[in-house]
Structure 1
């Protein structure tokens, strides 16, 4: 911690989706708390997504799965199309850690963001490792698009960010297809892995 007047803490929360009780929304945040204030803290970084685990993965004609992704964001609809239409690419991406038949749940990491003051410190990867700790379970397929914030983001920028996300080998991300789906990554989180040294608090002088 940089200053005795405040501390930074990672926190994870879950809630049922208001329109679909079989879907769990989740968030991982890094919050700044004042030691002299009992307030809720200021969010300095966050990861948002949702978990759906019906026991099978989506297919093109699965209207329930389609509706789950359709009620989210544009990236979620793109995620559904990748999941439903690109089985051969996905099967190749998750080998040899898992097979398609092993998977019966999907977690979509919709957005990751970090305050500019903390960028370059590995915070985004830490948020994902926190998610892996709480979400990890047998048969969990994880999908996200490495997409920097902002408009008119190029494929090259997505690929660069994807390379950064892949640098953390514990997360196990592999590209779906750099050419066809630049930035889209896939992993299987069979276990709630915890990295040694990942404490509840973030120390700014690390």
Structure 2
């Protein structure tokens, strides 16, 4: 059955962003069962491999029935899933959506999450014509806050005790990014070299 919203494959020298597959289940479970990766999520870490299979089935259903995009973030050389990113709560008439992301602990600290999000944001703004993207981040997750801020997101407010996970209440820092504020080095490079006459 065709998906409701087409989703292009995006790629760079280090990454391949593609549709999730059934054989991604073990790699997806490795991410979502890691308490350190899931520390600031609004749900607890997975405990059963079947949860990864259920999640992939849910993604397939959502892609058929909802305006949602879900990319598997894969290593460009091995095609191993090392993370994922979802664009959801999409309102095409209003030109806005929310974004979420995760990355396996072993692949963090290399700028890969930033690289993946830039490709996705480029598609959302330039390919789909959206004007605003939002992110909900636990304010204690300083690395994630710094990541989105480097992309141009602005912290617009805090919702106190929004989530309760494992008996602990957590706040939400609400971030927003307008198309005109997107920090994209690739676009800056292209603009800086536009119109330069050949020698």
- What TM-score, normalized to structure 2? 0.49
**Structure with higher RCO (Cα < 8 A, 6+ apart):** 1
